[in-house]
């Protein structure tokens, strides 16, 4: 990693860490249920990984280390996939759900959501694709990108179907992402779809890094 790429990664990861810390403090004061959301979870995990990267990159600048450990790069790929999924779901799904409910599309980017739904995902994408090489990450490791979504799908499904109303209908307060549309089976279809999309996102990020990082931009 060149010094310019190192600095670029350091700046973007520092931005991610600070953004996540500030947003979590604000959200905890407003809503104790915030950690049930995939958005919050993916951003917090991205912030933690960003902090780990910042520490390693400072050590590299101080010549205490030569490069980022490979496991850190793998975890960064996984967490970047998570926040990218958040970004895509917000832009192409939740924004239109808001409109259907009579709100403005851009309500999904209001207050802390402008960070969790847009700025921190973009920051993670740019730092991963442009500045953090993945030469040691092979295709098989891209399957790890679905771990968080798979776990969350299980949690979400159990939570929804253990809180059905007396007539067997899904209670909207337990289906906070509005994944059950009419029939209950739509949740399973949505979960499978999201897992496929998640894998696709992770693969595209991995492939993009291979193509763009190795062009030696920002050297």
Decide if pLDDT at 181 tops 70. Answer: no
* Mean pLDDT of the region 186-192: 84
pLDDT-derived band at 217 (thresholds 50, 70, 90) equals low
| Digit-coded pLDDT (tens) for 33-81 | 788 889 999 999 999 999 999 999 999 999 999 889 999 999 999 999 9
Task: Tell me the backbone φ, ψ of residue 135, rounded to 5 degrees.
Answer: -55, -35
- 129 neighbors 76 (Cβ within 8 angstroms): no
* DSSP assignment string, 33-87: TGGGSHHHHHHHHHHHHHHHHHHHHHHHHTTS-SS--HHHHHHHHHHHHHHHHHH
What's the DSSP call for residue 175?
-
Residues 5 and 74: their CA atoms lie apart, in Å, by 18
pLDDT at 43: 95
- 1 or 210, which is more confident? 210
Residues 39 and 176: their CA atoms lie apart, in Å, by 12
pTM to 2 decimals? 0.88
CA 93 to chain centre: 16
- 35 neighbors 41 (Cβ within 8 angstroms): yes
SS3 164: coil
Top mean pLDDT of 108-117, 176-185, 200-209 is at 200-209
Residues 197 and 97: their CA atoms lie apart, in Å, by 19
Identify the CA nearest to 128 among candidates 49, 195, 65.
49
pLDDT-derived band at 19 (thresholds 50, 70, 90) equals very high
pLDDT at 198: 96
Residues 112 and 158: their CA atoms lie apart, in Å, by 28
Query: What residue segments make up the domains of the chain, in order of their start?
Result: 3-213
pLDDT-derived band at 117 (thresholds 50, 70, 90) equals very high
pLDDT-derived band at 216 (thresholds 50, 70, 90) equals low
Residues 219 and 215: their CA atoms lie apart, in Å, by 9
- 124 neighbors 16 (Cβ within 8 angstroms): yes
């Amino acid at each position: 990693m060149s010094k310019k790429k190192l600095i670029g990664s350091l700046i973007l990861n520092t931005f991610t860490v600070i953004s996540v810390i500030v947003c979590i403090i604000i959200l905890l004061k407003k809503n104790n249920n915030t950690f049930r959301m995939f958005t919050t979870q993916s951003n917090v995990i991205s912030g933690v990984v960003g902090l780990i990267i910042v520490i390693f990159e400072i050590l590299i600048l101080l010549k205490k280390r030569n490069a980022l450990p490979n496991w850190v790069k793998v975890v960064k790929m996984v967490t970047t996939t998570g926040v990218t999924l958040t970004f895509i779901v917000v832009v192409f799904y939740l924004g239109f759900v808001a409109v259907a409910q009579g709100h403005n599309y851009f309500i999904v980017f209001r207050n802390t959501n402008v960070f969790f739904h847009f700025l921190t995902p973009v920051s993670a994408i740019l730092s991963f694709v442009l500045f953090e090489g993945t030469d040691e990450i092979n295709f098989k490791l891209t399957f790890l990108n679905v771990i968080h979504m798979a776990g969350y799908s299980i949690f979400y499904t159990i939570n929804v179907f253990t809180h059905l109303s007396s007539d067997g209908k899904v209670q909207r307060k337990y289906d906070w992402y509005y994944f059950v549309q009419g029939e209950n089976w739509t949740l399973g279809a949505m979960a499978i779809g999201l897992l496929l999309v998640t894998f696709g996102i992770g693969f595209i990020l991995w492939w993009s890094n291979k193509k763009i990082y190795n062009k030696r931009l920002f050297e």
